Amino acid sequence: MKIAFISDIHGNATAVEAVLKDIQSKNADQIVVLGDLCYRGPEPERSLELIQSLNPTVVKGNADEWVVRGIREGEVPDQALDMMRTEQKWTADRLSNEDIDYLKGLPAEATIDLTAQIKIHVFHATPNSLFDIVKPTEADEIVESKLMKEASADIYLYGHIHLPYVRYINGKTVANLGSVGLPFDGMNHASYLMAEGEGEHFKVGIQRVKYDTSQVIRKAEEVAYPNPDFLKQVLAK
pLDDT at 146: 98
Backbone angle region of 197, left / alpha / beta, with phi > 0 → left and psi within -120 to 50 → alpha: beta
Instruction: Give the architecture (CATH level 2) of 2-235.
Output: 4-Layer Sandwich (3.60)
Q: What is the pLDDT of residues 7-62, one digit of tens each?
A: 999 999 999 999 999 999 999 999 999 999 999 999 999 999 999 999 999 999 99
Q: What is the pLDDT of residues 100-154, one digit of tens each?
A: 999 999 999 999 999 999 999 999 999 999 999 999 999 999 999 999 999 999 9
- Asked if residue 93 lies in contact with residue 11, where contact means CB atoms within 8 angstroms, the answer is no
pTM score of the predicted model: 0.97
Mean pLDDT of the chain: 97
pLDDT at 236: 84
Distance CA 67, CA 90 (A): 10
> What is the 8-class DSSP label of residue 177?
-
Is the predicted pLDDT of residue 237 greater than 80, yes or no?
no
Residue-range domain boundaries for the chain:
2-235
Enumerate residues 6+ apart whose C-beta is below 8 A from 78.
none
Query: Among candidates 103, 4, 94, which has minimal Cα distance to 62?
Result: 103
Q: What is the pLDDT of residues 152-199, one digit of tens each?
A: 999 999 999 999 999 999 999 999 999 999 999 999 999 999 999 999
